[in-house]
Structure formats: C-alpha cells, structure tokens
Structure 1
C-alpha cells in the first residue's frame, strides 16, 4: 500500500505542477519530505540520499562554463569553424552533431559527458542559423544514445557484464547494432519533423562574414565585458556567419576558453575526470581572468532547471531506496504470460529511466528478466536488446541528465518551448518505444 501511495504522489506532483505552472522540483522536494516522513518513516538523511549531487554540479558547472564562452565570444569561433567544416551547409549541422555524439560515446565516453560537451555548441548553432533548437538538442541526445551499447562504450560494457553475471546468453554486437539502427531511424524522424526538410529546401550556406568589432567584444567602456555579437542571418538563401575580428584581450580570453573546453573534453572522455568539477575548475580560471564577464554569465545558469531536475531525481531516488522499484519488479514477475510480462518490464524500464539512471534501471531489470527467460518462450538476446533500447532512448526526457543538459543550455527565450518539446517527445517514447521494441524483438521469439 505504501508503494502505491508513493507512486500516486509522483503522479500528483506532475498533475499539480503542470496545471499550476509550479516548478516540479520544488513540489518533488516537498513530496520527498511528506512521503519519506509519514509514509516510509525515513530519517532526513534517507530523504536526501537520492539528491543528485553529481548531476547538480554537472548542470551548474557546464552551463556556467558555456555561459562564459558565449559572453566572451568563443562560441562564435566554434560556430564559424563548424559551418566551414561542412562546406557551409546548415542542413548538415544536425547530422554532424549526431555523428559526433555517437562516435564519442561509442569510443567510451559517458553519454552525459558527451552531451555536456556538444550540446552547448550545437544549440549555439541553432541560435545563429535559425535552426529549431529542439531539432539540434534531440540530434545530440539520440546521437549519444546511438553509441550507448558499443562493446567499447561504458553502458555497453556494463550491460554485457550484467547479462553475463545473470547467466543470460548474450550477443553484444546484436544489441549494439539494434540500438544504433533504432536511433538513426529516430533521428531521421526528428530531422523530418522538426525543421530538417525546410533546411534542405533552403540550401542555406555560409556567405560573407559579418563583423564583430573590438567595441562589440569589449563593451562601450573597453572593459572586456559581455559580447554582443552580430547575428548570423539568411540573406538570399545564404547564411551569414560571424567574423572574429577581436582585440588582444578578447582574443586571449577566447584562446584560454577554447583550451579549457578542449581540456574538459579530453579529461572527461579520455581520463574519466568528473565533468562537473572539471567544468567548475575551468570556469573559475576564466572568472579570475575576466571577473566582469563571469559575473554577468552567472545569471545565465538555468537555476529553475537545476531545481526541477534535482527535486524529481531526489524523489525517485527515495522510491528506489524504499523498495518501490523492487515492488514493481515483483509485480511484473507475477504476470502469467511471459510475453506480456516482458512488455510490462519494457514499460517500467522506459518510465523509470526517463527520470533516473539508465544504468541503474538496467541493473535492476536485467536480473528480473531471468525468471521470464527461464520459461523458454522468450529470446534472451532479443529481450536484452529491447530492454536496452527502451531504457536509453527516453533520455530525451527533460528529467534525464541528457535532456536536462539540453534544456539548461537552451537560450532563455526558447527554453520553455524546448522543455515542452522534450517532455512530449520523451514521454511519447516512453509509450511508443516499449511497444515497438516488443513487437520487433520479443514477439517473434528470436
């Protein structure tokens, strides 16, 4: 009864928060306090044990660093270079960020680390060239998801290890290729649905560059303050890219910023350094160099998103620690028909992963699938592939780390629209992905 009540409160949080436009994170903290104290009779330490400290530092550190990079003009440098790298084809940019995310994750980067590095630049492309930011954000996330189950990838290694330890027959290549193809198809749908076709029709290419003067970069007082770059624009079907004519101080700040971003990427991807703390370190160095820019950039951090994500994840963490997720697993195991039990398992994987750790939910559900596989009616490799896909594609939810990073790095004027778009797409996948993967992989009995 306590588990059902806790789940009902979670549903109520979403209903009330959406109806009254109240931050869901704030309501979730209240829910954690109320449910933890009066339903589970937990201590305060247990109530806050699920607080995502690492995710909090990632969101604040990365968004603050890239806010500084936007303010001092470094993002303009990256935009110009990226557009030139694809021959000026704006229509190719979403696929460039998709491929880059997939390669990084497939080679061993953590998915949130890759998204944290690529999403801010990708969304800056969107602003500069009039691309739908939802399109760019989804392409980054699905790109990272496409590389998730590479035999070299972190999630692939973990999943394959779980399969082996549970005594389930496995085939890492099948799981990887299945997930890769699934995400490429989703990316094609995203591209067609959110503005990619219009980009192809416009055939936008980078044209002559506009000018960013020293006064633009340094501010009217020449103090090295916030950058006000001229915007890229469509002119006769061409895209006008920003120029990078800057003074010595601004050039120094950009070089240091870009170097810091490279060090951040290499440190997190190659040496497994914490992405959030590394970003904080780089941001601190830049703040010491240009205090005025850093001070103005602090207001660009999406504090509302930080509160929202922290609250939701804290509440779900409370449910996990109190056995509510295990309760769901036991209920699934009692479903009489294995093929229907598998569908329920896929829905649980998708729903929980939309809020919590994909790795965590796979770690809980792969062992729970052993009783279903023991009946001999289900193919083990097919079920693992379906579970892996259902649990990972929903990372587009704004309550997952990847979705939160996209929302946090979206310009304030577009953040509400992108948040709603990710909510719709992410929870659409919560409903659709389990059914599709079940029909493709489980029902045929492979």
Structure 2
C-alpha cells in the first residue's frame, strides 16, 4: 500500500509540474514531507536528511565554475569558430552542429545551456543553407545531450553520482559513465549519416551559397577560461584513469582518493574570480538553480520510495515478469515514454537508476547494459515538443508560424526516429553483450 502511495506521488508530481509549469522538485519535496512524516512516521529531520547534499554540492560547484565560460562568452565564441571551420563543406554542416554542440556541452556548459544558445544559431543555418529542420534539430539536440554526458560535464556527473548512490563502486561508475557517453554520441552520428545518405539531403546542401562570417578572436579572459576548463577536465579524468590502469600503486591510489570534482571545481572558481574572468553575481545567476531543485527534490521522494520498499518491489516485479534478455530493452522503452513528458536528469534517471543494481544482481546482467539502455531510451525522446529539449527548440523559432510548422515535425518525425534508433541500438546491445 505504501509503495503504491509513493508511486502515485511521483506520477502526480510529474503531472502537476507539466500542467502548472511549476518545478517538479517542489511538488516532490512536498510529497516527501507528507508521506514521510505522516504516512511512514519519520521525523522531519529524517526527511530533510534525504536531500541529496553531495549531489547538490557537486552540481552547484561544477556549474558555478563552468558558468564563467558562459558569462564571458567563451563557449559562444568557441561555437562560432567551430562552425566557421566547416564553411567550405556545407554538406558537413549537420556534423559541425553536432560536434560543436557536443564539445561545448562536454566542456561543461550542460545540455540546457548549449541548447539555449546553439538552437537559434542552428535554426538560422537551416533557413539559409537548406538544411532540414529535422536534421538540424537532431544534430543540436543529440549533440548537446551526448556532450553533456561526458564524465566531467553536468549530466555525466549526475549519472555517476546516482550510480554510486545506488551501490555501484566509484571506479565502476566512472567506467559506466564512459559507456553512456560513447553510446549517446555514436547513435546520433549513425542517424545523421543515414539521413544524409538516403534522403538526398547532401546534394541540396551542396548547392547552397550561404557563407558564414569570420568570428573575432578569443580575448584574454576567454583564452584563460578555456585553458582553465581544459586543465580542470584533465585533473578530473587523469586520477581515476591512472587508478584503473595502476590499481596497486599506493601513490596513485592516495591521489585518486583525494580527488573530488566538486571541490576541484570550487578551487577553480576561486582562481577564475581572482583572475577576473567574469562577474561573480552573473556567474552565480547562471547556475541552473531550477534543475538543481528538480533533481534534488525528486531525489528526496525517491529516497522515501527506497525507505518504503518500493524500489525492491519494482525490481522484483521486473525480474520475474520480463525475460532477462529483454530487461534492458524494457528499461529503455519505459525511460523513453517517461522522457516524453519529464526530464531525464530530474525524473527518469533518479527514478530508474536505484532499481538497476538489485535487478542486475538477480538476473546476472551487467548493470552497465541497463544504465546505457535507460539513458539512450530517455534521451531519444527528449526532442519531443512536450519534453525539455523539444520545448527549447520550439522556443528558438523566430515566429509563431514557424513554431506551428515545427511542432508536428518534432512530434511525428524527430521523436519517433530517435525512439526507433534507440530501440534498435538497445536490442543489438542486449543480444551482443
């Protein structure tokens, strides 16, 4: 009975958030309090302790440092340079948009930020170069998603933290994050290539006469910001990789044990402020507070679900009702359906990741396979106009007329295409691994 109550609370939170446009995390916090204190007999302190403090600190610290690159225009200028480098090969523009979006997101901007400033540029390029709106939308959306899944970027950090909180060892979670990143970058590239080869799109773009104007060079603040960003990424990546390669080396083990991306990012934020790379108030304002509230609020409600035994109940049901080989695929389909209306970072992965370890253990499946299928499925339908990615793309349309024409293309062509590609990939992965 308690498990049904918690599941109903999660569904109602999503529905209310979608209907009222109020942050889902706020509804989740309210339900966590009401169910935890009045239905389960927990104390208010117990419920407050369920706020995922470590995840909040890591995301806040990393986003604060990366916000300097947003505030002083480093990422936008870098995007202009990358797109300009493709000017002589117009038919490669979809790849340029994809790679630019992925690289900027991997450098720490995060999915929503990249989409916010890359989507208008991409739609303008579609208008002037005869690039298909569907192709442009997929390139920028899935590029931003794939890049943000990099282990030192926003989504990758969230996935890794969720895995560790679910009982996955730190080093294994690091490797799993690489698997998710590689998968979510490979699938869109295959889809874009298929689109280019089988729709005659390459020929129409080659006939375009549109030229991209040369960008201005990076200024001092932008150059230093880029150097700091690359240095921080190197620090974050080298220690765990070295520990995986040299697991018995005591020095490497000691250094790796002291590495924490949230604390490293805090140090780099101080360096950025001392070097005057951006205004502190603007950098603080650029932190995605609404995303933080959504992720942590839903995290509280998921913690209540774990306390109530809901996660174990769901794991038991899935483990006994679905053939083991199809379990990862089923997770991918559920994630895709949830992502049509809810955030991958704020709702889908916090709800599904805790179920993975017990199911994987009982069925003898590698958790990596299920984690990949969940993220691939969820991100496949994020281009739906009802989801965050699609709504940002629609918001980038210059006129109401273009927005009305773009809506059915996203809903009936882009989202189904992404879903089918993800389903095929998950099926192949499930039978190969």
Superposition TM-score, scaled by structure 2 size: 0.61
Rg comparison, structure with higher value: 1
What is the aligned partner in structure 1 of residue 376 from structure 2? Answer: 393
Query: Contact conserved, 2:25 with 2:294, CA < 8 A, in 1?
Result: yes
What is the aligned partner in structure 2 of residue 239 from structure 1? Answer: 212
Task: Provide Cα deviations, 1:171-212, integer angstroms capped at 9, x if missing partner.
Answer: x9xxx9999678634444478889x9979854699xxxxxxx
What is the aligned partner in structure 2 of residue 14 from structure 1? Answer: 14
Secondary structure class of the residue paired with 1:271: helix
Query: Contact conserved, 2:101 with 2:147, CA < 8 A, in 1?
Result: yes
Question: What root-mean-square deviation, in Å, do the aligned CA atoms of Structure 1 and Structure 2 show?
Answer: 5.4
1:311 has 2:297 as partner: yes
Q: 1:192/1:411 Cα in 2 relative to 1: closer, same or farther (>3 Å)?
A: same
Secondary structure class of the residue paired with 2:212: strand
What is the aligned partner in structure 1 of residue 108 from structure 2? Answer: 116
What is the aligned partner in structure 1 of residue 315 from structure 2? Answer: 329
Structure 1 residue 387: Cα displacement = 2.9
Q: 1:285/1:310 Cα in 2 relative to 1: closer, same or farther (>3 Å)?
A: same
1:364 has 2:336 as partner: no
Structure 1 residue 325: Cα displacement = 0.8
Q: How does 1:117-136 map to 2 (within 5 A)?
A: 124=117, 126=119, 128=121, 130=124, 135-136=139-140
Structure 1 residue 93: Cα displacement = 1.9
Contiguous gaps of at least 5 residues in structure 2: 126-135, 152-159, 169-174, 241-258, 339-343, 398-402, 404-408
Distance 1:317 1:424 in 2: 36
Secondary structure class of the residue paired with 1:240: coil
Pick the structure with more helix per residue.
2
Q: How does 1:28-67 map to 2 (within 5 A)?
A: 28-67=28-67
Query: Contact conserved, 2:106 with 2:147, CA < 8 A, in 1?
Result: no
Structure 1 residue 322: Cα displacement = 3.3
Q: 1:40/1:114 Cα in 2 relative to 1: closer, same or farther (>3 Å)?
A: farther
What is the aligned partner in structure 2 of residue 91 from structure 1? Answer: 94
Query: Contact conserved, 1:397 with 1:422, CA < 8 A, in 2?
Result: no
Distance 2:24 2:72 in 1: 33
Q: How does 1:423-442 map to 2 (within 5 A)?
A: none
Query: Contact conserved, 1:123 with 1:136, CA < 8 A, in 2?
Result: no
Q: 1:433/1:309 Cα in 2 relative to 1: closer, same or farther (>3 Å)?
A: farther
What is the aligned partner in structure 2 of residue 298 from structure 1? Answer: 284
Distance 2:413 2:291 in 1: 18
Query: Contact conserved, 1:51 with 1:314, CA < 8 A, in 2?
Result: yes
Secondary structure class of the residue paired with 1:265: helix
1:355 has 2:349 as partner: yes
Structure 1 residue 60: Cα displacement = 3.1
What is the aligned partner in structure 1 of residue 142 from structure 2? Answer: 138
1:275 has 2:248 as partner: no
Query: Contact conserved, 1:329 with 1:368, CA < 8 A, in 2?
Result: no
Structure 1 residue 307: Cα displacement = 1.6
